[in-house]
Amino acid sequence: MRFPNAKMVQDWGHFRALSMKTIEAEITISPWSPIGAKGELQHAWFKVSGIPPDQRSLRTIAKVGGLVGKTLEIDEKTRYRNDYVRMRIACRDVTQVPAVAESSLGLFIYDFFFEREMVAPPQQPVPPVGASKKDNCETWRLRGNQAYTKGRLTEAEECYTHGIDSFSPNEDSRKH
């Protein structure tokens, strides 16, 4: 039996419970929830160099990323570049990924170099002339929601903070 992918689970989740004919049972399909999880891994894109060109199978690239975390995605456009391979890696703290990790490929030992790609901080939106503080706060809320849906939780938190900070501490934002 093949387990359904996330898209299939989402699509099937819209149906009501399915009854089984042979026994009194129902099947309900819903996405997995991380209830009880201890935390959530951070993820970022890294440029990884030191992978020999003749050793760039997806399995080997994933193994190299696995030295510092969990390889989530490999940028196919960079797979055969001379200087680096780009990959998205998840780990507890992306700021703590070592610059160099050593491992073997076959019978040979290599150093692999990890360089995290820095994401530019969100640009401060320029509110229209005469825009209220409420409009400015709403702009940041919407940006935060967009970042959240894309899984960029740190960016979302920063956007929400900008929205809250758009009001002075002495103001009651509910009055606006």
What's the number of domains the chain is made of? 2
From residue 161, give the alpha-carbon distance in Å to each of 22, 125, 155: 55, 14, 10
pLDDT tens by residue, 43-87: 999 999 999 999 999 999 999 999 999 999 999 999 999 999 999
* Assigned domain for 107 exists: yes
Establish if 75 belongs to a structural domain.
yes
CA distance 90 to 70: 5
The answer on 111 and 70 residing in a single domain is yes
Query: Letter for the amino acid at 173?
Result: S
> Is 4 part of any domain?
no
Residue 170 falls within a domain, yes or no? yes
What is the pTM assigned to this prediction?
0.56
Q: Which domain holds residue 100?
A: 42-116
Domain-embedded: residue 23? no
> Over the stretch 116-139, which tens digit does the pLDDT of each residue have?
998 765 555 555 555 666 777 788
Q: Are residues 98 and 163 in the same domain?
A: no
Name the most confidently modeled range: 12-21, 41-50, 132-141, 160-169: 41-50
Residue-wise pLDDT tens digits, 22-33: 888 877 777 777
